[in-house]
Every structure is written in structure tokens, then in C-alpha cells.
Structure 1
Amino acid sequence: MEKRPFVTKGQLEKITAEYPTPFHLYDEKGIRENARRMNEAFSWNKGFKEYFAVKATPNPVIMQILKEEGCGVDCSSDTELMLSGACGFSGHEIMFSSNDTPAADFRLAKKMGAIINLDDLTHVAFLNEAAGIPETICCRYNPGGKFETANGIMDNPGDSKYGMTYGQMVTAYRQLLELGAKKFGIHAFLASNTQTEDYYPELARILFELAVRLRDETGADIRFINLSGGVGIPYEPEGKPVDILRVGAGVKKAFDAVLVPAGMGDVAIFTELGRFMLGPYGCLVTKVLHEKHTYKDYIGVDACAANLMRPAMYGSYHHITVMGKENEPRDHKYDVTGGLCENNDKFAIDRMLPKIDIGDLLVIHDTGAHGFAMGYNYNGKLRSAEVLLKEDGSTQLIRRAETPEDYFATFDFMNLFG
């Protein structure tokens, strides 16, 4: 089974004639259609809102597309807050979910009217001293132990640095009520990149039951429950995409079974997805520079781990299409490598691909989230451009490539050498 790029070889040749490789390319049509499916899946909930995880793809043009589709933003730092503000997001269109948070970040989030999500009990007093307690506040829950569904163990929340215990949640709510909070939310993130349709429904059931307990024990007015992220995408070609409509129906079933009988049928459902919203709708486009034949066969490209860190950092699989050779037999075994002085700078290891020639264009799939965003400048490598393939087939440069001047901009050469 072969993943197909959202762009043809002919289109890509025209694009690369205008924008030198490597660059990240995004599919506007796919992004919009996916956002609409997401909203449809939770349309049964009057207050539903998807808060796109800015950390996944911090580009203002992408963020504006999602804003047009009704999404808010999930921020985790002051710069992400600034970027969101510049894109026109304000107030409760912004969730601020962070950890080990500087006081200045809390002050900015409070000033912007964002919904602040507290990661730890001690942050109640910290936020109060730094900025004061807003009327609407959220707390992050960690149930500990292992998180299991019918498909088995999915993750180990007890090993996670995020969130509070149940007892800490109760104490936090009581302290926040004393400090003037009026409306409350619950947030939790228990597993990453899940590709099963029962993750969100099972998480929802846990949080819905938690909401009823917290209301009964503290008297807090719980207005929303944020299921956070964790819904994944299939990176390998044989993987099956998550059916978000079925996921939404599963959450509704838990909502109707737990919250509605408890008189909490007006609670809003929030999500904070990044990978699911953007991952399949971006790719890294790179050109073959060299081939090397020693103890293995290597294909050297003009991209590197500085453009896409996931394979080097996690050993993650990203599918590769050799453009124009989609129907040729995958009968050559290659390591596809970048030019960093690190032996783990490999996009693929022992990958069966069609015969590759110098000058071929490669598409590395599923880089729309946590692709460009995790880039860095090791070896003096410069971060690539980002290009949007618009719905009408035209392209827009939505971030230019870095230049050496950008790399040197933070040095003060006059003081260093003057």
C-alpha cells in the first residue's frame, strides 16, 4: 500500500522552480476539510471548540485558516500567546496550558483574557501572586497509574510530569473558589498519538465522572472539560486513519451516560489537537544530492534532521515517495540521510524504495505537525521555508527560508570583536 502525496510531480516541479528545496509544503484544502470534520464530529455539543495546539505548527497563515474554520488556539509560552494575539485570537479563544510556567507568561495570559490551565497545586498561589486569579480557570488532572482501554495499555500517566492528583484537584478548586474563581474547567492528557477510536471516549468517561465528583465535593461550577490532544495519525502506509465522527459519537455516549443524568448536560467539550489537525496535510520536500555505496547504499538529500527531527529523535517512521516513481517497484534498499555531523541524521533506514537518482524529488509525508516546529540550527543549518498549496492550486510563501544573516543576528559583533 502506497501513501499518495497531495501534490503531483508536475505541480512540485513548478513549485521547486520558485522555492528552492528543502521546504515544508501544506495543503490548504485538506486542512479545511479536516477542521470541518472535527467540528461536525462534536456538533452535538453546543459549546464545543477545538483549540489548535500552536506548538505543532506555529505559522500565522495556518493559524488564520483554522481561525476561519472556528478553531481557537492552545498556547504554552509567552511567544505563542504573542503570535496568537497577532493572528487575531483573544479572550477565551485562547487556552494557556503550560508547565514550570514563568510569572511573566501567566501575566500575559491573564492580560489577554486567555483561559489559564494550571498544571500543579502550587501554581494556584503562584498565579495569584503573579497576576491574580481570573473568574474562569482550569486545572489539569493526572489519574496516575497506567491508562488502559479495551485495546490494552496506552500510556503511563503515573510517569508523566503533567497534572494533579485527585486530592490536589479538590484542594486547588477550593483555594481558587476562595480567591474569587467562578467558573471551572478540567483538562487531561493521558496518551500520545493514539490511533484507536476508543481513546477519547474512555478519557471522556474518566473526566466526566471526575467532574461530577469535583462538583459534589467542592460546589464548583464546572463549565467545560478539555480532552486535550492525543488523537493520532497513521504514519505507516498500512495504517487506518482515525474516524473522528465515530470518536465524537463515542464521547457523546459517555456524555449522555454520565453528565446528563448528573444535571451537567450544558458542559462544553474542548479539544486541543495538533497532530490530528495538521499532520497529514504537510510534507517535507527535498532533493537528492548524492548517492554513496559503502557497506550500505545511502541517498543524501538537501534536508536534514534540522528540518525534521522526529526520525532522528524518536526513530519515527515517515513514509517517503520518490516523485514520478510511485508505480515503480520498491526493490532498492537505502538509508536516506541528511548532512548533519550526526549518524542518526537519517529519514529512513533500510527502506525499500524505487531506484533513486541524483536530482530526484522526494516527498517525506506527514510533517504538517511537529515538523518545521521542532527545527533547530545545529551545524549552522538554516531553517527552511514553508509554502502553502492553496485550494485554487496556487502557492503562497508563508515563511521564508532563514539566511546566514538570520543565524548571525543574535551576535553583537561590534562588542565581540570591536
Structure 2
Amino acid sequence: MKTPFVTLEQLQEIVRDYPTPFHLYDETGIRENARALYRAFAWNPGFQEHFAVKATPNPQILKLLREEGCGVDCSSLTELMMSQRCGFAGDEIMFSSNDTPAEEFALAAQLGATINLDDITHIDFLQKTIGYIPKKISCRYNPGGAFTLGESEEGFQVMDNPGDAKYGLTRPQMTEAFRRLKELGAEEFGIHAFLASNTLSNDYYPALAAILFKLAVELKEETGVHITFINLSGGVGVPYRPEQSANDIAVIGEGVRRAFEEILVPAGMGDVAIHTELGRFMLAPYGHLVTRALHQKHIHKEYIGVDACAANLMRPAIYGAYHHITVMGKETAPCDHKYDVTGSLCENCDKFAVDRMLPEIQVGDLLVIHDTGAHGHAMGYQYNGRLRSAEVLLCQDGSTRLIRRAETPEDYFATAIWD
């Protein structure tokens, strides 16, 4: 069973100040989760989390995470600019992009960010762009083929296809790239890889770590470079469905530690720092999309129309992704009504739920759509003239703070040229 982090009574107070729909974030949950992550990897003195800005690009969220020791992972010019304005600099910033414009490499270098190269041709492109190769540099590895972990304790099979992904360097290219970068003056090297998305398995990170640790030992032997960090990137998932079990970050951290001590320490590489780039894991469970039922429709199916739409949360529309829904005040009522919960876009895919069993919903009921703290507001858009909603932070003391205002029609028209 999924329980909202806010009560009906709290929500009724909040909606007096902020009209629905809006995204609501739980400061307490965010901070506690960040602290749990750092405890899980406390065995590694150089551990650093670089929060994936793309997941929740809100300055107040980024500043909150910075207070908890997190850095940022950026993949565009504007993400770099936002991070700079939030006070991040130097090693706090990882810049991992692909098909990268020159101006983005230039700003990353100016900020002292650690640049993670996505392709071997980017070595010469980077040198031509900024005039040098940074002393500290990273390369993204793509092993190709398929990545399969098998059944986890949760009964979930981890499987993805790196060979179909546009990212990263091949194994031979990694050796060639490190040799070339060393010739050009690089002194500290990092390895990065991302093999699977939203894994519900405590075994994924340790398995990925073992692959990268073995690669690091091989590259050190082949090229003689000093590998100072290994970035396990993201992929640690969250249970969107109530029957799914959550990952245990303490168990994950211990699994990575065992691989570290079995592979890197005997190779004389016990000084390697572990980095992560978690977005979904850090934020998704701590965000709700709050919406209100506007209409009931009785035709071939039963529909509940709400005042949010795919412009506020596009994952169900484009991925068919499941997001749990709580009808506030009816948490313990029987789920004996079957509904499609829909938005107002002129597209039939604009549905938050299809054939979902829920308590009986009345017009005016408040609904909470769960796990929208990452890739929720961030993926918003203005199709059909629908405007992006506000973002609100539920503070630790129970108060609320507006951290992004809702868009207005004037925002929508601001870039139009009328004459």
C-alpha cells in the first residue's frame, strides 16, 4: 500500500494557497533519503553523489541537496547555468552529455566541472574547443550487447540493451582514449557507465560496480593511467507499484563495498572514489502531483476527468508508465470502481490510469498521483496551450513554500512575435 506523505487535512489547507494542479515535494523525505545514501557509502572516503539535474531542475531542490552534500550531474548548457547560480562549482559538477555543442564544453571547463566524454572523437573536439585537455577527465563506457541480471528477490528481471544505446565508448576505444588523453596531459581519470534503468534489485549496482572495477584494473595495466574515480551513474529504481519492494540502499552500498575490496584493493587501487548520479531514486517518491476531480463521464467506460493533464506528468501518456493514485480521504475505502483517469489534452493517450480500481470518486475530490518527484514537472510542456503547474515544497516544520510559480498565459505568449 502506498501512503501519501501529506494528509487530507494538510492538503485542504495547502490548496487554499495554491490552486490545483501542482507538484508537491517532501523536504523531510528528500533529506532523509540523501543522508541514507551517504551512510550507505560512508566506507568510501571520496564518495560523491551528483544529483541528475534533468530529473528535477528546480533551484530550491538543488540547493536543498547541496546542503546534504550532493553535487550535480548536468547534460546541457542551461543545467550548467542553473547549477552555477545555485552555487555549485568545480568537482561538485559532473558534465555528462552527448552530441555536445562547443559552448557547453566551454562553460563546463570554465566552471571546473569534471567532463565525462561520450565519444572518442570528442577528445579532439574538446581540445579544439577549449584549447587543452583538463587534468581530470572521464570517459563513458558502453560494453554493448545485452545486460541481464536475472531474477531478484523482488521477482523483477533486470534487463537492458547497452548495444542499442547511443552512449559511450567501446572497450577498445576506452584503451585508446585513455592513452590519447594521457598524451595530451590528463592526470586523473574516471570511468562512467549506465547499463539499466529503474532497476528494482539490490544486485544491480554491485554487478555494475564489478564490471567497472575490472575494467579499471585492466585499463590501469594497459595504459598506466591513474584512475581516481568510478561513477556508477543512475539506474537504482523506485517501486511505482504498491506491490513492488523498494531497494535497500544500505544493502546496495555493502554490495559495492564487497566488489571494491575483492577487485580494486588487491590491484592497489584502494584510493578510487565512488561517484553516483541518482535522480529518480533521490526524488521520485518525494513528489506528488496534486489534482482535483472535475468531471465524471459515463459512456462505454467510466471516466474521471481531473484538472491535471499529460502536460503536468507525461510518463503515463508516452510510456504507459504506472503511477499510483490515492483518493484523499478515502485511503481505506474499498477500491470497487473501475475508472480511466484522464486529463484535458486533445489526445486519447492523456490518461493517468486506465481501468484502474479505485474508491468511488466524486467531483471535487482531491487526488494524489504518486512518485512524480523525478521526471514529473521536469518533462512538462505547453502542448494544447496547457501551462506548466506550480511546484510547492512541504517543509520540515509542516509549512509550505512556493518554489516555482505556475505559468500564466503571458508566459505562453512571451516568445511569440506578433508583428
Q: Is 1:208–2:213 an aligned residue pair?
A: yes
1:239: how far off? 1.0
Answer yes or no: is the 8 Å Cα contact 2:158–2:200 preserved in 1: no
1:148: how far off? 2.0
Answer yes or no: is the 8 Å Cα contact 2:189–2:228 preserved in 1: yes
Supply the distance in 2 between the matched residues of 1:395 and 1:146 (Cα, whole angstroms): 45
Supply the distance in 2 between the matched residues of 1:383 and 1:147 (Cα, whole angstroms): 37
- Following superposition of structure 1 onto structure 2, how do residues 249-398 of structure 1 map, counting pairs within 5 Å? 249-398=254-403
| 1:84 aligned partner, one-letter code | S
Q: Is 1:225–2:207 an aligned residue pair?
A: no
Percent sequence identity is 70
| 1:146 aligned partner, one-letter code | A
| 1:376 aligned partner, one-letter code | Y
Supply the distance in 1 between the matched residues of 2:9 and 2:108 (Cα, whole angstroms): 45
TM-score by length of 2: 0.98
1:178: how far off? 1.2
Deviations 1:128-182 (A, max 9, x none): 1111311000000011111122435511111111111011111111111111111
Supply the distance in 1 between the matched residues of 2:106 and 2:183 (Cα, whole angstroms): 20
One of 167, 175, 178 as aligned partner of 1:173: 178
Structure 2 counterpart of 1:146: 146
Structure 1 counterpart of 2:67: 68
SS in 2 for 1:7: coil
Supply the distance in 1 between the matched residues of 2:123 and 2:288 (Cα, whole angstroms): 41
| 1:401 aligned partner, one-letter code | A
1:411: how far off? 1.4
Structure 1 counterpart of 2:154: none
Answer yes or no: is the 8 Å Cα contact 1:146–1:153 preserved in 2: no
| 1:144 aligned partner, one-letter code | G
Structure 2: where are the runs of 5+ without partners? 152-156
Answer yes or no: is the 8 Å Cα contact 2:27–2:394 preserved in 1: yes
How many residues end up aligned between the 2 structures?
413
CA RMSD of aligned residues (A): 0.7
Structure 2 counterpart of 1:26: 25
| 1:148 aligned partner, one-letter code | T
Supply the distance in 1 between the matched residues of 2:93 and 2:274 (Cα, whole angstroms): 15
| 1:198 aligned partner, one-letter code | D
Answer yes or no: is the 8 Å Cα contact 2:294–2:307 preserved in 1: yes
Structure 2 counterpart of 1:133: 133
Supply the distance in 2 between the matched residues of 1:305 and 1:314 (Cα, whole angstroms): 11
Answer yes or no: is the 8 Å Cα contact 1:312–1:345 preserved in 2: yes
Supply the distance in 2 between the matched residues of 1:319 and 1:27 (Cα, whole angstroms): 17
Structure 1 counterpart of 2:110: 111
SS in 1 for 2:139: strand
Supply the distance in 2 between the matched residues of 1:148 and 1:195 (Cα, whole angstroms): 13
One of 229, 238, 243 as aligned partner of 1:238: 243
Structure 2 counterpart of 1:13: 12
Supply the distance in 2 between the matched residues of 1:181 and 1:405 (Cα, whole angstroms): 49
Structure 2 counterpart of 1:57: 56
Answer yes or no: is the 8 Å Cα contact 2:231–2:276 preserved in 1: yes
1:300: how far off? 0.2
Deviations 1:298-327 (A, max 9, x none): 000000000000000100000000000111
Answer yes or no: is the 8 Å Cα contact 2:303–2:340 preserved in 1: yes
Answer yes or no: is the 8 Å Cα contact 2:48–2:274 preserved in 1: yes
TM-score by length of 1: 0.98
| 1:193 aligned partner, one-letter code | N
| 2:12 aligned partner, one-letter code | E
| 1:289 aligned partner, one-letter code | L
SS in 2 for 1:276: helix
| 1:86 aligned partner, one-letter code | R
| 1:15 aligned partner, one-letter code | I
SS in 2 for 1:149: strand
One of 231, 248, 253 as aligned partner of 1:248: 253
Answer yes or no: is the 8 Å Cα contact 2:158–2:201 preserved in 1: no
Q: Is 1:43–2:42 an aligned residue pair?
A: yes
Structure 1: where are the runs of 5+ without partners? none
Deviations 1:214-270 (A, max 9, x none): 011011110000000000000001111100000000000000000000000000000
Supply the distance in 2 between the matched residues of 1:127 and 1:170 (Cα, whole angstroms): 18
Q: Is 1:194–2:199 an aligned residue pair?
A: yes
Supply the distance in 2 between the matched residues of 1:70 and 1:153 (Cα, whole angstroms): 30
Query: CA 1:403–1:314 in 2, change beyond 3 Å: closer, same or farther?
Result: same
1:357: how far off? 0.4
One of 401, 409, 412 as aligned partner of 2:406: 401
Supply the distance in 1 between the matched residues of 2:148 and 2:6 (Cα, whole angstroms): 38
Answer yes or no: is the 8 Å Cα contact 1:74–1:95 preserved in 2: yes
| 1:338 aligned partner, one-letter code | G
Supply the distance in 2 between the matched residues of 1:218 and 1:244 (Cα, whole angstroms): 34
SS in 2 for 1:172: helix
Supply the distance in 1 between the matched residues of 2:417 and 2:89 (Cα, whole angstroms): 36
One of 156, 161, 180 as aligned partner of 2:161: 156
Answer yes or no: is the 8 Å Cα contact 2:158–2:199 preserved in 1: no
Supply the distance in 1 between the matched residues of 2:357 and 2:158 (Cα, whole angstroms): 32
Answer yes or no: is the 8 Å Cα contact 2:55–2:279 preserved in 1: yes
| 2:111 aligned partner, one-letter code | M
